[in-house]
Chain A
Amino acid sequence: MTALGAIIRRDIRIALRVGGGALIGVLFFLTVVVLMPFAVGPDLALLKRLGPAILWLGALLASLLTLDRLFTADAEDGSLDLIVMSRTPLELTCAAKALAHWLAAGLPLIVATPVLGLLLNLDGSASLAVMATLLAGTPALTFTGMIGAALAVTLRRGGLLLAVLVLPLSIPVLIFGVSASQAAIVGPVSFGTPFSILCAISLLSLVIGPFAAAASLRQGLD
């Protein structure tokens, strides 16, 4: 436990310092949301209708942007080799790293959501709905994205490939995240149904992600 705690503490500390990239994700999120009115026009009614979708897309792209840092920094300075060789099971280490990444880079996105919701003319309850779905869905993005990050870490210019590999895996999360927030705002259907499926996808990826990532790290570094 202490080893995992140390890894989580270390990763969060690195991510929050200059050049760590955690807060760059929030900045990117803000930029995506600001670009949208330029693209679709400043029609407040339209922005309100597209709001949840725009916020979800922005959060997805921002988390993809920061995923690249999950293993590359450790691979560059050699600590990844030590992590793979250590007595702590690699699956647990991967899970701890992903958890730290989510705390440092995922949570800020959720905190920023209501502020960005104001820009998109979302009222309080709608912003809350999007926040709740992001809270339930972003762990799935991090833990499935970790598979791509682990695959890409051993390649040259893996970052480019990471987007191609991870985006198809995040489609179900996006679908249920947006449909749950739409359901809460306008929807004929209840909020609970898509929201539970979103939670289920997150739990599933919590199980699959660390194992797949650990497998590809072991393959890649021998």
Chain B
Amino acid sequence: MKLTELANPTRFLTLAGRLLPWLAAATALALAAGLTQAMLAPDDYQQGATVKIMFVHVPNAWLAMAVWGVMSIAALGTLVWRHPLADVAAKTAAPIGAAFTFLALVTGSLWGRPMWGTYWEWDARLTSMLVLFLMYLGLIALWRAVEDPSRAARAAAVLTLVGAINLPIIKFSVDWWNTLHQPASVVRMGGSTLDKAFLIPLLVTAIGFSLLFLTLHLAAMRNEILRRRVRSLQMLQASRAEAA
């Protein structure tokens, strides 16, 4: 079992330390290749050069949801298996996921201005992303509200799983509500109808951003483990000072 071996934080630290430079290099390569290809991609016949925003926007939006998935798995790891690294993974993923969501919202907004003539539209997809962002912020607030890391982890794990149930409901209900209240005014390109000239750079940037998440997440997990060690050493020192 790989997972149980990784449960030893010291072993995890060494492994992550060994992996990080390679991951960072792979991230830089993939992003450089993807963004170069994206800049060289032809302009869209309707959208002109603005179509290039897609190569940043779509991977960010995709990762925004994927990170919540990662946190949900980590939450199961916390609640079910009491895996010592699961709460570290969940805690450090939340700010990164919130950043991806924020970037997806901002890039989408910048793309929407020339295309739809508005920065914001109460469209189903936009609204559910905004709610996802709010949920990320609530989760981060909960992590920071509890001092004891393991208690914070279990509280946050419950909220993460409830949020995971809620996300599809929001997605679906907002879709529905939109067809009720306003005609669908936004034309979006389906992924499958994408031309090869756009599809390949998009896939490469998506891989690049996923690697970026992996790199940032591993680095943040290392920091969090070290932070906890410092915390326990401080507490030890404080208790020794009391005893003396």
Contact = CB atoms under 8 A, between A and B. Distances in A.
Tell me whether A and B are bound partners: yes
A117 to B, nearest CB: 21
B116 interface: no
A172 B127 CA distance: 12
Interface in A162-204: 164-165, 167-169, 171-172, 175-176, 179, 182-183, 187, 189, 194, 197, 201
Given A164-B138, A172-B169, A220-B151, A212 B161 contact: yes
Contact of A179 (B145, B151, B155, B180): B180
Given A151-B155, A172-B166, A172-B170, A164 B180 contact: no
A179 B79 CA distance: 37
Given A158-B145, A169-B166, A172-B169, A212 B131 contact: no
A167 to B, nearest CB: 8
Interface residues of B, number: 28
B146 interface: yes
Contact of B155 (A156, A175, A183, A219): A219
Contacts of B151: 154, 219-220, 222
Contacts of B142: 151, 161, 165
B181 A212 contact: no
Contact of B145 (A155, A172, A194, A197): A155
Contacts, number: 83
Contacts of B169: 172, 201
A208 B173 contact: no
Nearest to A211: B158
Binding site of B, secondary structure by majority: helix, strand, loop or mixed? helix
Interface string B169-192: 110011011001100000000000
Contacts of A219: 151, 154-155, 158
Contacts of A215: 79, 154, 158
Contacts of B159: 147, 151, 165
A72 interface: no
A161 B141 contact: yes
Task: Assign chain A's interface to a size class.
Answer: 20 to 34
A175 B146 contact: no
Nearest to B171: A172
Interface string A137-171: 00000001001000100111010010011011101
Nearest to A209: B162
A183 B179 CA distance: 13
B158 A151 contact: yes
B165 interface: yes
A216 interface: yes
B116 to A, nearest CB: 22
Nearest to B131: A168
Given A164-B141, A179-B177, A220 B165 contact: no
Interface in B101-160: 131, 134-135, 137-138, 141-142, 145-146, 151, 154-155, 158-159
A172 to B, nearest CB: 4
28 contacts: A144-B162, A147-B158, A147-B159, A151-B158, A156-B145, A161-B138, A161-B141, A161-B142, A161-B145, A164-B138, A168-B134, A168-B166, A169-B166, A171-B131, A171-B170, A172-B169, A172-B170, A175-B176, A194-B176, A194-B180, A208-B165, A212-B162, A215-B154, A215-B158, A216-B155, A216-B158, A219-B154, A219-B158
Given A154-B155, A220-B151, 4 more contacts: A158-B145, A183-B180, A212-B158, A212-B161
Interface of B: 79, 131, 134-135, 137-138, 141-142, 145-146, 151, 154-155, 158-159, 161-163, 165-166, 169-170, 173-174, 176-177, 180-181
